[in-house]
Amino acid sequence: MRALTHGPKFHWFGYYDKLEFDPTSRYILGMEVDFQHRTPAPDDRVRLGMIDLESGDKWTGLGSSCAWSWQQGCMLQWLPGSRTEVIYNDRQGDRFVSHILDVRSGKRRSLPAPVYGISPDARWAVFPDFRRIHDTRPGYGYAGIPDPNKQVDAPDDAGIWHLDLGTGKHELIVPLSKAAGIPNEHDDMKGAKHWFNHLLVAPDAKRFIFLHRWQRPGQASFMTRMFTSGPDGTDLYVVDPYGFTSHFIWRDSRHILAWARHPSHGDKFYLYEDRTDKVEVVGPDVMTVNGHCTYLPNKRWILNDTYPDAARNQNPYLYEVRTGRRVPLGHFHSPPEYDGEFRCDTHPRFSPDGRKVVIDSPHGGNGRQMYLFDVGAIAG
């Protein structure tokens, strides 16, 4: 393992299901700020950069954004399939936008809407209402534009939008009111406030996942359903109706691995088959706590982590699907001030060649920084 970034400034990448590495596994993306432990203000800018793993981890600045959060940054990621283009969100005036930047030429074009989940062919994206998420789930939305539906439980004019990455055309495809109107036999949604989060497009681009969340007044926590949908918002299907879906990933275009609660085994990781009631528990005695899960490219290994344990250690690891073997990648202390909205999850991300893993961690004593593992000897 080696540190890719160092103080005095703070560096991280964010969510585990984004493309941090370029297709060659040489260049990785990151973000930089000079403060921690407070909510970003509307004018706080995060600086964006690219690290060259074959040139002394040299950092090349790529720009900045004022539409970002601690958990997911500004959605900075490589445009799928491209060796030179990245995409990220920003704010211009009273709207959120996205930019596609060629890191070689410096040429940039802007789209009139932000992105969240991007199709593997880089032709379209889906995005939720980041204004509403900032209000309902601090740490995931963006400051700077108030939610016009703050007092509306399930608005008709907010939800999930589809964005054409070529033309910039975007349209609302799943209103919050539509999801709220789909009956739920496992919880009474009456009087609840609804929002969407965590969108991820399937590998064949024919479906995407989103989480439908709601919270009633006075309720201590929110409830969740996991939906899949066609790219145009049709053919909605409730994959997990039981109220506690958390982190998930597509294993392939039909199967979804997710931490959830199911009558068969309680709170565990489960493999769901989309648009069916087929579900099987995964690693029930080994992957025993919630984490940020992905499959390495060969699908033989699951890359995962944990939240801080009793000793406040975060524990990224590899799980071998066939044998059930768990291989720890380390144990990283997270000081108690990294909590709630300001926590620094390790969010492990892998390289396209399946031989490298990067995490975010504050364990080194110089704030959140990025660290690289070579896992080729294990997973190769």
> Could you read off the pLDDT tens digit of each residue along the chain, which spans 380 residues?
999 999 999 999 999 999 999 999 999 999 999 999 999 999 999 999 999 999 999 999 999 999 999 999 999 999 999 999 999 999 999 999 999 999 999 999 999 999 999 999 999 999 999 999 999 999 999 999 999 999 999 999 999 999 999 999 999 999 999 999 999 999 989 999 999 999 999 999 999 999 999 999 989 899 999 999 999 999 999 999 999 999 999 999 999 999 999 999 999 999 999 999 999 999 999 999 999 999 999 999 999 999 999 999 999 999 999 999 999 999 999 999 999 999 999 999 999 999 999 999 999 999 999 999 999 999 97
- The separation between CA 252 and the C-alpha centre of its own chain, rounded to angstroms, equals 17
CA distances from 307 to 97, 270, 314, 316, 356 (A): 32, 19, 6, 9, 21
Q: How far apart are CA 100 and CA 108, in angstroms?
A: 6
pTM for the model stands at 0.98
| 256 contacts 249 by C-beta, under 8 angstroms | yes
Give residue 380's pLDDT: 78
- Beta-carbon contacts of 279 under 8 Å, excluding residues fewer than 6 positions away, are 262, 264, 270, 271, 272, 273
Nearest to 207 by CA among 299, 274, 293: 274
SS3 readout for 209-249: EEEEEEECCCCCCCEEEEEEECCCCCCCEEEEEEEECCCEE
